Amino acid sequence: MGLSGEVVFDPPNKISWGELTHPGSEIEVWNLTATTGYLYAPAEPLPTFSPDDGAAFLEWHPSSTPSIMLSEMETRAITGIVVGSIHMDDLVIFSGDRPTGNPITLRHVEGWIRIGGRGVDGDIRARPQNWNAPEPLGNKSRAGYVGGDSFDARIGIANKEKGAGFKFASSAVYDSEITGLINLKAPSEITGLAFSDMKCTSTADLAGGNIVLPSAGVTLGYWKLFLVPTGDPAKAGVMSARTGRIIFTAAGISETRHFEKPFRLTWGEMLADGNLGELFLDNNSYGQRFDKIKFSPSALALSKYTPGATDGYFATCGSIYINFFGSAFVNIRDARYDVESGKPYFGRSVTIPKTGMPKASPTNLHLHGNWDDLTGERLSTLDFPDADMDYNIKIQNGLTGTGAASVSFVHSDDLDATIEIRDESIDICMTSTSTHDVDMGLYARLGGLSHINGCIRIMGPTLQRLVLGGYLEKAVGTGTGILAPKTGQVVEVITSVTPNSCSFYASGDMLFSVAGAAVDLSGTVFLKKDFSRKSAEGDVTARINCNSVLGGLEGEGQVSWYADMVTQFLQGRLAVTVAG
């Protein structure tokens, strides 16, 4: 005949279990208040009860009616003493990961436990008495703890319906689930950072816990940056109460004012006291841009926390790729700038120091580019020394600097050049106040050019066009040239160069020299040189005065010409008058 019935626990109604297999060094870590249980002892031997049948852990919601409870125990062959939800309360957990040995106390316990010959089996859930009561996690007196302080946690508040759950088999923790929120002090200054699926060992050591980042991220208060998920937001990192760290493995640091993508981290440490530990950058920086300039970062660091300071910054270094010129190396300092939330700062102040992060290479913004025509002949060389290049601090966008430009058909000294790189474009201005000879490779130098102003805009990987303007002058290298302005006259010149051709336009009153004689022109002269065809063509639309060659001979009209390796022609129409 079997034995079954109600069991009443004597005060203080406590059931305790833990690591009891080592006499003299037993550890009782689990303590549950229980008032009443139900005993079932069968007359015949039964297989040892296990809550895991090999397929899943037992899902059971015992009845609060004694007769039904005992019937269920017999049907399920659950021997021993079972306590159900109505007769249990106050789960106390003595965890080594609590400061000063203060246990975790949870109320409103529901579920079931079984006390048998091999220990405690069960499936229980519990909730805090006060959802907003701090539950410090992390014991800084334990070896290996680096968090500086305990985590300021709220247990269960991230999922109030579930609270914290524990499953036991033979007094060992079979599974567990602890959720909650943590608040981090300065410098991180994060409130309500959620964690889920924290585990608990049989001796109540806290293990793991997924950090849940909102899709929009959270603000790193001291630096005014964002910490954002780069993968599944529910698994952005892991919380370690044992060491006092949060380790982010699927998160990144985002600064949206100047950088297009977050700085992805393969390992990023946030300590329980709010400080940051080691940061390791993911080398996959595909798509990253700095002020829309291609940027491949090689390191990242955040400034140390100084209480009361308002200039927290992050530093990064790496290679930028500038269209036409190629790569350069930069150190970037990006600081919060609370004094100006509008243009051009928008709350951030960026500089590019020549020396930056420890062990990083110095900034080298030396830009040098050669531009050739389609036949491989040099058209222009642009050079901007590192010493004269810097971040465009005034507009907080891109790079700016000075240097020199040489153009193949413009002789004498190089032209002064300035460069501005921003918004996916490069603008280069060229100037000179001195006179430079212009040589298009004709039978003589074309003439001189002064007050030069030129420009280049690069919108893509290659340089497509160069434009120079200025005033026509006498050639200074030879003393004479094909074209020169008449005394006291201003002749404007525009030259447009592409990899395929060079076009020259002049308009005004000028002298045209040919075969040792000069005639007066009043009009426009056009010249085009085609590099790939090795041809030249031109057009003169003007009033022509030949007094210096033949007294009284004048004409007005248009003359066009063309010449290449096999063809030469001259055509046009002139109205000629001879003054008698």
Phi-psi region of 376 (alpha: psi -120 to 50; beta: other; left: phi over 0): left
**1-15, 369-383, 452-466, 498-512: the lowest-pLDDT one:** 1-15
Please work out, in degrees rounded to the nearest 5, the angle formed at the alpha carbon of residue 451 by the alpha carbons of 446 and 452.
70
Q: Is the dihedral of CA 107, 110, 112, 118 positive or negative?
A: negative
- Measure the CA–CA gap between 469 and 452, rounded to whole angstroms: 6
Q: What is the CA radius of gyration of the chain?
A: 42
Q: Is the dihedral of CA 224, 339, 292, 355 positive or negative?
A: negative
What are the extents of the domains in the chain? Answer: 3-282, 367-578
Per DSSP, the three-state class of 347 is: coil
pLDDT at 412 > cutoff 90: no
What is the per-residue burial (b if ≥16 Cβ within 10 Å, else e) of 252-264? bbbbeebbebbbb
- Measure the CA–CA gap between 4 and 8, rounded to whole angstroms: 13
Phi, psi of 87, deg, nearest 5: -115, 20
Of residues 334 and 555, more confidently modeled: 334
What string of H, E and C letters represents the secondary structure of 364-389? Answer: ECCEEEEEECCCCCEEEEEEECHHHE
pLDDT at 382 > cutoff 80: yes
**150-154, 241-245, 553-557: the lowest-pLDDT one:** 553-557
**Average pLDDT of the segment spanning 370-376:** 93
What is the per-residue burial (b if ≥16 Cβ within 10 Å, else e) of 88-109? bbbbbbbbbbbeeeeebebebb
Structure tokens at 267: 């390992």
Q: Which residues contact 204 (CB under 8 A, 6 or more apart)?
A: 18, 29, 30, 93, 94, 95, 96, 97
- Measure the CA–CA gap between 90 and 32, rounded to whole angstroms: 6
Answer for the pair 198, 93: CB distance below 8 angstroms, yes or no.
no
518 — pLDDT class (breaks 50, 70, 90) = confident
Please work out, in degrees rounded to the nearest 5, the angle formed at the alpha carbon of residue 255 by the alpha carbons of 253 and 260.
100
Structure tokens at 370: 């050669």
Structure tokens at 486: 């008449």
Share of the chain above pLDDT 70, in %: 95
Looking at residue 1, what is its pLDDT? 52
- Measure the CA–CA gap between 168 and 89, rounded to whole angstroms: 17
Looking at residue 552, what is its pLDDT? 53
Task: Compute the mean pLDDT over every residue in the chain, rounded to the nearest whole number.
Answer: 91
Tell me which residue of 513, 420, 436, 430 sits closest to 471, measured CA to CA. Answer: 436
Q: Which residues contact 569 (CB under 8 A, 6 or more apart)?
A: 561, 562, 563
pLDDT digits (tens, 9 = 90+) for 251-284: 999 999 999 999 999 999 999 999 999 999 998 9
Share of the chain above pLDDT 90, in %: 73
- Measure the CA–CA gap between 196 and 174, rounded to whole angstroms: 17
Of how many residues is the chain composed?
Answer: 580
> What distance lies between CA 512 and its chain's CA centroid?
60
User: Half-sphere exposure (CA, 13 Å, Cβ side) for 113?
Assistant: 35
Q: Which residues pair with 88 in a beta bridge?
A: 34
pLDDT digits (tens, 9 = 90+) for 38-80: 999 998 889 999 999 889 999 999 998 999 999 999 999 999 9
- Measure the CA–CA gap between 33 and 142, rounded to whole angstroms: 29
- Measure the CA–CA gap between 485 and 470, rounded to whole angstroms: 12
Q: Which residues contact 68 (CB under 8 A, 6 or more apart)?
A: none
Element housing 327 (H / E)? strand 326-336
- Measure the CA–CA gap between 420 and 401, rounded to whole angstroms: 7
Element housing 547 (H / E)? none
Looking at residue 545, what is its pLDDT? 78
Per DSSP, the three-state class of 71 is: helix
Phi, psi of 351, deg, nearest 5: -135, 160
Answer for the pair 75, 68: CB distance below 8 angstroms, yes or no.
no
pLDDT at 444 > cutoff 80: no
Per DSSP, the three-state class of 325 is: coil
Looking at residue 156, what is its pLDDT? 81
Q: Which residues pair with 432 in a beta bridge?
A: 452
Looking at residue 413, what is its pLDDT? 87
**Average pLDDT of the segment spanning 304-325:** 95
33 — pLDDT class (breaks 50, 70, 90) = very high
Tell me which residue of 297, 364, 366 sits closest to 329, measured CA to CA. Answer: 364
Looking at residue 478, what is its pLDDT? 62
- Measure the CA–CA gap between 174 and 200, rounded to whole angstroms: 9
Tokens 């006499």 belong to: 23
Phi-psi region of 488 (alpha: psi -120 to 50; beta: other; left: phi over 0): left
Cis preceding linkage at 344, omega within 30: yes
pLDDT digits (tens, 9 = 90+) for 97-154: 999 878 999 988 999 999 998 999 999 999 888 888 889 999 999 999 999 999 999 9
> What distance lies between CA 266 and its chain's CA centroid?
13
pLDDT at 572 > cutoff 80: no
Q: Which residues contact 558 (CB under 8 A, 6 or more apart)?
A: 539, 540, 541, 572, 573, 574
User: Half-sphere exposure (CA, 13 Å, Cβ side) for 533?
Assistant: 13
Structure tokens at 91: 């789960």
Tokens 């140390």 belong to: 304
- From the number of C-beta atoms within 10 Å of its C-beta (0-12, 13-18, 19+), residue 493 rates as buried
